[in-house]
Structure 1
Amino acid sequence: MNKVGGPRSTEEIQASTRVDLNRALNKLIEPMQKLCFQAAEKQMPACPDWTSVAIYPKILELFSHMSARVMVGPELCEAWPAIAMKYIKSVLAAQGTIRKKYCPVLYWTAYYLSPEVAQVNKARRQAAQLVRPVLEARQAAYASRGAEVEKHDDFIQWIMDSYRASGKTATPDDIVQNIFIVMFASMHGTSFIALQSRFSLVGTPDALIEIRKEIKRVSRNDLKDSPVHSSALRYDPYTFKDGLHVPAGIVLSFPNLRYNTDPTTGLVPEAGIFEGKRWLRRRAEFNTSKFQFASTAEDAFDWGGGPHACPGRFMADVTIKLILICLVTKYDMKLPEKEGERPSESRRFMDLTPDTSTPMMVRDVQG
């Protein structure tokens, strides 16, 4: 992505996500939920009766508005989603165009010649200009008051502090590029899972009724669905004990989808059938700390493992639940009559992707 002006992962954003975000997450749930419901009021059409709605773009809007509170704080969260979505769409469009028009050895020239890359850089500058006043005000406050300065629970603050701890001063472009890598890593993954879960609940009305009752009692539920996969690149050669040699530069992927759905492992019995309480029962059999959506273990690699586990998995957990709470409590949904059954996922290599093109019939919850 960086060849088209896109973001790249840094040590600063990894530290900010692993430590600062997870430490502040409980305090952020309430304002995130408020923004989610506000976005639904603006983005969803009025649905007094059954109305056809392209639901996946709406889920993306809910995510972008809700996550804005975490990314840029309350001062900028209203203006941020439009700029962020423009930047992300520009990067994805530029990547596709460059792969078609340029050979790999000339990718670097696209940064200077491609109009698509020019759009990426334009959106990048707009994002940097948006955060500049907030960043400079906070840097000035720290310069005058030092450690006594007020701390804010957002990525602008955390990235600024992380750069300072490394002996560097974060620029507005540093801030937005680090924030964008978090958005690229989380936006479609969390939205896919939210869509898959809502598809599943359409076919299980009893589970939907129970979830709505649970939401009334507590602010979150314990539902888990959808295997994902993770991959890594070997930067150094490695030889296993059995003699298997992996050269440097080889892409390694753990086949989580196949492992999680393999009946011989006994990990997920009848994995092809949606069972809303599957993981709740598994936790009752063992302990409440296992089989959570964001859990990692020797037999659960959806988020990676050990120090390499996804640092933003707890935010993904919260975000998906808040989106589902909004969709479940505000709207009844069903598939169009011509569709009948749940849209099937597409599988490419180890990716499992829901059908994002099928609209759903939506109406406001009755009564």
Structure 2
Amino acid sequence: MFDAETLIRDSYNKFRDTVYQIKGTEGLQVLVPARLIGELRGLPEEVLSATEAVDEAMLSRYTNFTLGNHADLLSTLVRCKLSQNLARLVPQLKGELEYVVATEFPDCKDWTPVKFQPFALRAIARISGRAFVGSNINRQEQWMDISINFAIHVFVAVVKMQLFPEWARPVAQYGVSELRQIRRDVDKASVMLKPIIEERLRDLEMPSYEKSPDDLIQWLVEALPEDEKRDVRSQAHLQLILAAASIHTTNNLVTDCIYDLAAYPEAQDILREEAHQVLEVEHGWARKESMAKLKKLDSFMKETQRLAGNITSFIRKVVKPIDLSDGTHLPPGTKVLAPQAGISHDERYFEDPDTFDALRFYKLRHKSDEDVNRWQFTSISDTNMNFGAGKHACPGRFFAGNEIKLVLAYFLLNYDIKLKDGEKRPKPTVMVMSKSPDPDAEVLFRRRTVAA
């Protein structure tokens, strides 16, 4: 349960380009190498289902962790509305970051040890909350608590339920307190969102109403069918699922990036110089194209994700029989994964794969015109599925990428960062197939005299 990454990497090194099986907490799982992913990622849901696979992995029958028939709508809103409004949102999100730093981060006038993961979790919850629920709610401590802990309650509930055989779960569910807590989380979120949603609906009915807020509450009430616009509980549930899917994953990568900045201090000056030029000299904090111009930081983030990212990816369930070109037959019911941890360390895809190279992808982007976009942080391929693959690739990765750049650029411009003397980069915590940065690790921060 605590050595899944080693299991995946060792098994991948043994089988590489062949399909193979491992036994997980939910039975046998089939791992498909990168060279065969292209045969699977374009298959329709009725043949190879991502939805069924995720619902089963999250035990949605018990946790209710599913978007149901709202999946396409929410994906469209995140991909279009959220991404299209990034330019207008960046100054507001920076304001949220400055607020949480001023109220919750140490002064760091001299080198100060900081447990960064817990701080970053609250910072990302605030920043994301500004885009999801707006300024009236995102700074309220109760919303912070709900939006962070909902995902934890779901994860713990899944782990506990997996301890029971499938036949026992209908009864065992009543002994899992986190399942009750999940329902209470949705109840609390509904109470908080109800007056805001009702106010937004009243505003929409006013003939003189012109400028609408830039947040997910507004986009939902405008996009939902008429008979669902007043379903507060459903909207609260969607908000919490989005928070669960975004806050913790974004926080994990931000924290891993900070750990890598501390472990590789030579990268700090390179990235700091770029951030200074783009965001300060060119006054880029409020410019739409600024985050895209942080190409070295983009490369650094992608390299951190390569080495600290998902253990597995491309989770699917076979619905109808599939025959692969190598002769492998996948019968209905087969659970499919990609061995991402193994692929990310494969020297055929990444030169000197065990070495951290902050500018690895920056250099790859400059090899040819077609490589300019191929190696961006948000780009996906058969060898990089940390954001998923095909039509089920994470629609929020563009927002998350800009959010991470904002946080890292701010800390680079305002702080020096290093490990404690004699210490190495903090090791991750692994549970089942989930990996996250050590929440108790401390790194040292010192405020710079020239601030952003």
- TM norm. shorter chain > 0.5: yes
Query: What is the match of residue 196 of structure 2?
Result: 134
Check the 8 A contact 1:97/1:116 in 2, yes or no: no
1:357 aligns with 2:440: yes
1:116 aligns with 2:198: no
Query: What is the match of residue 294 of structure 1?
Result: 378
Q: CA deviation at 1:299?
A: 4.7
Q: CA deviation at 1:35?
A: 0.5
The superposition leaves residues 9-44 of structure 1 with CA deviations (integer Å, 9 ceiling, x where unpaired) of: 232322222222222222212211210121122221
Give the Cα–Cα distance (whole angstroms) in 2 for the partners of residues 259 and 98 of structure 1.
30
- Say which structure, 1 or 2, has more relative contact order (CA 8 Å, 6+ apart): 2
Opposite residue 235 of structure 1, the aligned amino acid is V
Root-mean-square deviation (CA), in Å? 2.7
2:74 to 10, 13, 16: 13
Query: What is the match of residue 315 of structure 2?
Result: 231
Query: Per the alignment, do residues 140 and 24 of structure 1 end up closer, same or farther by CA in structure 2, a change over 3 Å counting?
Result: same
Give the Cα–Cα distance (whole angstroms) in 2 for the partners of residues 158 and 108 of structure 1.
37
Q: CA deviation at 1:62?
A: 1.1
1:256 to 326, 340, 347: 340
1:85 aligns with 2:148: yes
Give the Cα–Cα distance (whole angstroms) in 2 for the partners of residues 93 and 294 of structure 1.
29
Check the 8 A contact 1:232/1:251 in 2, yes or no: yes
- Structure 1 window deviating more from structure 2 (56-65 vs 178-187): it is 178-187
Give the Cα–Cα distance (whole angstroms) in 1 for the partners of residues 231 and 274 of structure 2.
45
Give the Cα–Cα distance (whole angstroms) in 1 for the partners of residues 179 and 388 of structure 2.
32
Q: CA deviation at 1:129?
A: 0.9
The 5-angstrom pairing of residues 153-168 of structure 1 reads 153-164=214-225, 168=228
SS in 2 for 1:285: coil
The superposition leaves residues 64-106 of structure 1 with CA deviations (integer Å, 9 ceiling, x where unpaired) of: 0100111101222212323312433333344444455x65445
Opposite residue 283 of structure 1, the aligned amino acid is R
SS in 1 for 2:270: helix
Normalised to the residue count of structure 2, the TM-score between the two structures is: 0.72
Give the Cα–Cα distance (whole angstroms) in 1 for the partners of residues 402 and 417 of structure 2.
22
Query: What is the match of residue 180 of structure 1?
Result: 240
Identity across matched positions, percent: 24
1:284 aligns with 2:366: yes
Query: What is the match of residue 39 of structure 1?
Result: 100
Give the Cα–Cα distance (whole angstroms) in 2 for the partners of residues 214 and 322 of structure 1.
13
Q: CA deviation at 1:233?
A: 2.4
Give the Cα–Cα distance (whole angstroms) in 2 for the partners of residues 121 and 350 of structure 1.
25
The 5-angstrom pairing of residues 195-274 of structure 1 reads 195-219=255-279, 220=291, 221-222=294-295, 223=297, 224-225=302-303, 226-227=305-306, 228=310, 229-263=313-347, 265=348, 267-274=349-356
Q: CA deviation at 1:248?
A: 2.0
Q: CA deviation at 1:291?
A: 0.7
Query: Per the alignment, do residues 294 and 338 of structure 1 end up closer, same or farther by CA in structure 2, a change over 3 Å counting?
Result: same
Check the 8 A contact 2:414/2:448 in 1, yes or no: yes
The number of residues matched between the two structures is: 361
Task: Flag structure 2 segments of 5+ consecutive residues without an equivalent.
Answer: 1-57, 280-290
Query: Per the alignment, do residues 8 and 241 of structure 1 end up closer, same or farther by CA in structure 2, a change over 3 Å counting?
Result: same
Task: Flag structure 1 segments of 5+ consecutive residues without an equivalent.
Answer: none
Check the 8 A contact 1:159/1:170 in 2, yes or no: no
Query: Per the alignment, do residues 49 and 13 of structure 1 end up closer, same or farther by CA in structure 2, a change over 3 Å counting?
Result: same
Give the Cα–Cα distance (whole angstroms) in 2 for the partners of residues 188 and 274 of structure 1.
23
Check the 8 A contact 2:120/2:251 in 1, yes or no: yes
Check the 8 A contact 1:163/1:170 in 2, yes or no: no
Check the 8 A contact 2:148/2:244 in 1, yes or no: no
SS in 1 for 2:110: coil
The superposition leaves residues 272-306 of structure 1 with CA deviations (integer Å, 9 ceiling, x where unpaired) of: 22222111111111232221100124554332333
Give the Cα–Cα distance (whole angstroms) in 1 for the partners of residues 389 and 165 of structure 2.
36
Opposite residue 67 of structure 1, the aligned amino acid is S
Give the Cα–Cα distance (whole angstroms) in 2 for the partners of residues 161 and 357 of structure 1.
42
Query: What is the match of residue 309 of structure 1?
Result: 393
